[in-house]
Amino acid sequence: MSAENVNGSGRVRPMDTAELQRITSANGHSHTPRTVTALCEQFAPVCQSAVDPLEIASALEFEGLGDQAAKLRYGYRDVFALAQDMYFRVPRQPAEPEAPPDPWQGSKLRPALHGLLYGLPGLMFPAAIGLLAGPGILVTLIVALLVAWSAGQGLAYFGYTRLGRTLDMNEARRVMRFALLGGLTVVTIAMAVTGHLVHATGSVMLFGAGEGVYMLGAGVLMVLGTERWLLAALAPGVLGSAVFLAMGRPPSLAHPTWALLAATPVLALALAIVFTRTPGQGIIQRPDSTEWIGALPAMAFGLVAAGLLTFPIAVGPHGHGGVNTGALLAALPLSLSMGAAEWSLLWYRRRTQRLLRETTQTRVFAVKSRLALLAALLQYLAVAGVLVALTVAVAVAAGIVEFKLDYLPQLAAYAALGGAMFLALMVMAMGLRIFPLVAAAIALAFEIVARDLGVLAQIVACTELFVVMGIYAAVMLGRAVRHAY
């Protein structure tokens, strides 16, 4: 049909002037499109991106072109018929949407800071061991680590879940104060029971309690994004330990060193209490039933992970006690490597978010996401390997240990454990929490049952855990739906 309409007498009647004026300014144009082809050109961006003719009809009506104009100007019964014709005339060429803001963009220095905060507390243990005396030292410290690590995982889960669900920092602070009080209660009870069973001295129990208090306070500060204050809390304990060890552990510095060691957990707890303060509406807030259910796997995984880290140290290189130098050399760099694990995890999340926007086929996404996972894993393992090598080199140069080739299997086992923990944290971040827990628990159970095999049991358990978690992560994280978490 032409730009005019035919009346009953057969004469061509021009379009009503008022109607012409109403659509003249459509889309900023100074003239009225005289044909449907010209109208399609004018509304090309809308037509190319439309998934339904209704979108085009809405755009036409928004610009003032309604049923009357569609009938008088273009000869269609209404604007919906006109929009349908335009929809089929213009090929679909949707414009790419603007890239959304990166939810995983953060400070590049934060993972490195976290690595220091994970590893620096380990520098205080050599000084503390030289000051502690009496039975049950190792058992008490390991129990404190197990309990605090488990409670800390639950505390972090409560905080991150409440913050992600409500976007309310005050609610997150209140629920974390509740978790902090609960964790402190659990640590206190655990130290009292352990001290009674192993007949530990008061100083041993206090140091174990301090270990747990520091880890809980540090967890609060990290979740709330105030981890820089942890450096101030760590300063007295780390510096005091360094001076004490450098001077050969003189008895005259025993009491000052104890005071400085005690200052670190006290400061961490005080800072956690300060930063969980909220104005009004109660001091604490209990987690709801959903949060409790979700926190249980996180707490159990923290317990199992701490067990995998400390069990070789507790049972010695041959499974019957003794100093496991290889495990001690690997434990500190493994803690420091958690900063690299966090950085690699964030890199992977950013990479897969880009793949979701750029990839249109699920098979292509699966391949590319698995390649990205492999790259993230190799990045982490490379940093962990460098940290292990540096730790060994410093320990040998300082005369703390004399390196032996017998340490290499132990170091390799801890490297496999680090890779397995990285993959476990990766899939848990995607909402898959049960499988990593079960796999890690089976590996720990195998180490306990086969402890007579010594280092071989740890090598087998950690290697199998690494392989199983690698296969599971490759399968599950190749699915685009998992990256909605």
Q: Which two tokens stand for residue 472?
A: 């599971």
The answer on pLDDT for 28 being more than 60 is no
Q: Burial level of 73, CB count in 10 A (0-12/13-18/19+)?
A: buried
Provide the domain limits for residue 45: 5-89
Classify the C-alpha dihedral 261-265-271-274 as positive or negative: negative
pLDDT band at 8 (very low <50, low <70, confident <90, very high): very low
How far is 404 from 257, CA to CA, in rounded Å? 32
Residue 105, CA distances (Å) to 20, 109, 115, 347 in order: 51, 12, 18, 9
Structural domain contains residue 303: no
Mean pLDDT across 472-477: 95
| DSSP 8-state code for residue 15 | P
The answer on pLDDT for 151 being more than 70 is yes
Residue of 320 and 156 predicted with greater confidence:
156
The answer on pLDDT for 277 being more than 80 is yes
**pLDDT at site 105:** 64
Residue of 379 and 9 predicted with greater confidence:
379
Angle, to 10 degrees, between the axis of helix 407-429 and the axis of helix 325-358? 30
Question: Of the ranges 302-311, 354-363, 373-382, which one carries the lowest mean pLDDT score?
Answer: 354-363
Burial 406-419 (b: 16+ CB within 10 A, else e): ebebbbbbbbbbbb
Are β-strands 12-13 and 5-6 bridged in parallel, bridged antiparallel, or unpaired? antiparallel
Do 349 and 473 reside in the same domain of the chain? yes
Residue 144, CA distances (Å) to 57, 286, 323, 364 in order: 68, 24, 19, 47
pLDDT tens digits for 221-246? 988 888 889 889 999 998 998 888 88
Mean pLDDT across 27-44: 74
The answer on pLDDT for 11 being more than 50 is no
**pLDDT at site 216:** 92
The answer on pLDDT for 306 being more than 50 is yes
pLDDT band at 16 (very low <50, low <70, confident <90, very high): very low
**pLDDT at site 356:** 85
How far is 145 from 307, CA to CA, in rounded Å? 9
pLDDT band at 387 (very low <50, low <70, confident <90, very high): confident
**pLDDT at site 99:** 65
pLDDT tens digits for 47-95? 888 888 999 999 888 888 888 888 888 888 999 999 999 999 998 887 6
How far is 57 from 402, CA to CA, in rounded Å? 81
How far is 120 from 335, CA to CA, in rounded Å? 9
Do 82 and 113 reside in the same domain of the chain? no
Question: Of the ranges 106-110, 198-202, 261-265, 283-287, which one carries the lowest mean pLDDT score?
Answer: 106-110
**pLDDT at site 167:** 79
Mean pLDDT across 393-422: 85
Q: What angle do CA 227, 378, 392 make, to 5 degrees?
A: 70
Do 270 and 204 reside in the same domain of the chain? yes
How far is 158 from 179, CA to CA, in rounded Å? 8
Mean pLDDT across 257-274: 93
User: For residue 13, what are the β-bridge partners?
Assistant: 5
Do 74 and 115 reside in the same domain of the chain? no
Chosen domain end from 89, 122, 157: 89
The answer on pLDDT for 196 being more than 80 is yes
Q: Which amino acid is at 21?
A: Q
**pLDDT at site 136:** 81
**Count of domains forming the chain:** 3
Q: Are 148 and 183 in contact (CB under 8 A)?
A: yes
Structural domain contains residue 100: no
Residue 385, CA distances (Å) to 102, 333, 479 in order: 30, 9, 30
Structural domain contains residue 102: no
**pLDDT at site 13:** 39
Please report, rounded to a whole number, the percentage of residues in the chain having pLDDT higher than 90: 33
Structural domain contains residue 307: no
Chosen domain end from 270, 287, 304: 287
Q: Are 229 and 191 in contact (CB under 8 A)?
A: no
Chosen domain end from 269, 287, 305: 287
Q: Count of alpha carbons within 13 Å of 410, Cβ hemisphere only?
A: 27
Do 178 and 49 reside in the same domain of the chain? no
pLDDT band at 130 (very low <50, low <70, confident <90, very high): confident
Q: Are 382 and 343 in contact (CB under 8 A)?
A: no
pLDDT band at 273 (very low <50, low <70, confident <90, very high): very high
The answer on pLDDT for 327 being more than 50 is yes
Residue of 4 and 415 predicted with greater confidence:
415
Question: Of the ranges 98-102, 113-117, 255-259, 392-396, which one carries the lowest mean pLDDT score?
Answer: 98-102
Mean pLDDT across 268-281: 86
User: For residue 12, what are the β-bridge partners?
Assistant: 6
Structural domain contains residue 226: yes
Do 283 and 384 reside in the same domain of the chain? no
Do 71 and 173 reside in the same domain of the chain? no
Nearest C-alpha neighbor of 136 from the set 184, 203, 214, 210: 203
Do 120 and 61 reside in the same domain of the chain? no
Nearest C-alpha neighbor of 132 from the set 174, 77, 195: 195
Structural domain contains residue 331: yes
Nearest C-alpha neighbor of 411 from the set 333, 349, 472: 333
How far is 208 from 190, CA to CA, in rounded Å? 10
Question: Of the ranges 97-101, 270-274, 456-460, 469-473, which one carries the lowest mean pLDDT score?
Answer: 97-101
Nearest C-alpha neighbor of 317 from the set 138, 140, 452, 460: 452
Do 281 and 326 reside in the same domain of the chain? no
Q: Burial level of 55, CB count in 10 A (0-12/13-18/19+)?
A: middle
Structural domain contains residue 308: no
Do 112 and 78 reside in the same domain of the chain? no
**pLDDT at site 124:** 80
Mean pLDDT across 280-293: 79
Strands (E), 185-298: none
Do 177 and 145 reside in the same domain of the chain? yes
Do 282 and 430 reside in the same domain of the chain? no
**pLDDT at site 398:** 65
Residue of 238 and 21 predicted with greater confidence:
238
Structural domain contains residue 459: yes
